[in-house]
Amino acid sequence: MQGEEQYLAGKHPVLEALKAGRALNKIWVSEQAQRSLVAPILEEAKARGVVVQTADKRKLDQLVPDLPHQGIVAQAAAAAYYEVDDLLARAAERGEPPLLVLLDEVEDPHNLGSVLRTADCTGVHGVIVPKRRSASLTAVVAKTSAGAVEYVPVARVANLVQTIEKLKEAGVWVAGAAGEAPGDVYRANLTGPLAVVIGNEGRGLSRLVRESCDFLVSLPMFGRINSLNASVAAGVILYEAVRQRRAVPAAGGAPTASGDGHAPA
């Protein structure tokens, strides 16, 4: 699925877009840009036949008025969205149990960008967002993700609850992050096919999404603030999943454990 063209700003988003083979119409480089920033981009752009033009910094400021651009801006084709089946196929191609992230109305593009960056680092096979009340793949997301938007496929779905049910039918266990969950993430089994659901920045998980999850996990809190930023919570849970998977390689199905195999012991 395609949207309108967009602008990418900064060294990492532009360079990673080039490396990933994304269609770039043009790159503008400020006359004042640091040579150390520009050189890798110029080299990659030349190899891929992308036009590069020098421009006054004021022009770049006008193109991306709300983004720090480091003197580098590119006009890119819209980022592509994927189907949920594509994400599952990606895991199968790698011979790995699926590891997915679902975002339940996460509206801050900075949070989406941060989640994509963490998802790339933790080997997540894809991120799923609803079409309504969710941040989309904008230049802000690309900038915040430090280029990870080029490598982590994002699927947009009409109904998150129906998608959860579809994942369950495919053998994926669904864990919702909820502060009031009785069991914390360190006592949950995260080694099999897994989708982690992160809720809205203020409201958390919606009722229907919460009820659709196989189990809920919380993060232990010891301070006076009782919640974490959505992208930080996602990072903690995903790295716990990575730790468990490295310690006990998953066999593809639900692992053997007490209880239902995934709920906290």
pLDDT confidence tier of residue 225, bands split at 50, 70 and 90: low
Q: Is 161 or 21 the better-scoring residue by pLDDT?
A: 161
- Section 192-197 average pLDDT: 96
Sequential DSSP letters for 68-113:
--TTEEEEEPPPPPB-HHHHHHHHHHHT---EEEEESS---HHHHH
pLDDT confidence tier of residue 224, bands split at 50, 70 and 90: low
Is the predicted pLDDT of residue 98 greater than 60, yes or no? yes
- Section 220-226 average pLDDT: 69
CB of 35 closer than 8 Å to CB of 77: no
Nearest-CA neighbor of 145 among 120, 122, 118, 113?
Answer: 113
- Section 43-68 average pLDDT: 86
Alpha helices in the chain (DSSP H): 11-19, 35-48, 57-63, 84-94, 109-122, 139-144, 160-169, 207-212, 230-247
Is the predicted pLDDT of residue 3 greater than 50, yes or no? no
Is the predicted pLDDT of residue 64 greater than 70, yes or no? yes
Identify the weakest region by mean pLDDT among 30-44, 84-98, 115-129.
Answer: 30-44
pLDDT confidence tier of residue 227, bands split at 50, 70 and 90: low
Which pLDDT belongs to residue 140? 83
Is the predicted pLDDT of residue 101 greater than 50, yes or no? yes
Is the predicted pLDDT of residue 218 greater than 80, yes or no? yes
Is the predicted pLDDT of residue 259 greater than 50, yes or no? no
- Section 228-245 average pLDDT: 91
Give the pair of three-digit tokens for residue 208. 């229907």
Which pLDDT belongs to residue 257? 34
- Section 127-146 average pLDDT: 86
Identify the weakest region by mean pLDDT among 93-107, 124-138, 181-195, 212-226.
Answer: 212-226
Identify the weakest region by mean pLDDT among 75-79, 98-102, 109-113, 133-137.
Answer: 75-79
Is the predicted pLDDT of residue 246 greater than 60, yes or no? yes
Give the number of other CB atoms < 10 A from CB of residue 228: 15
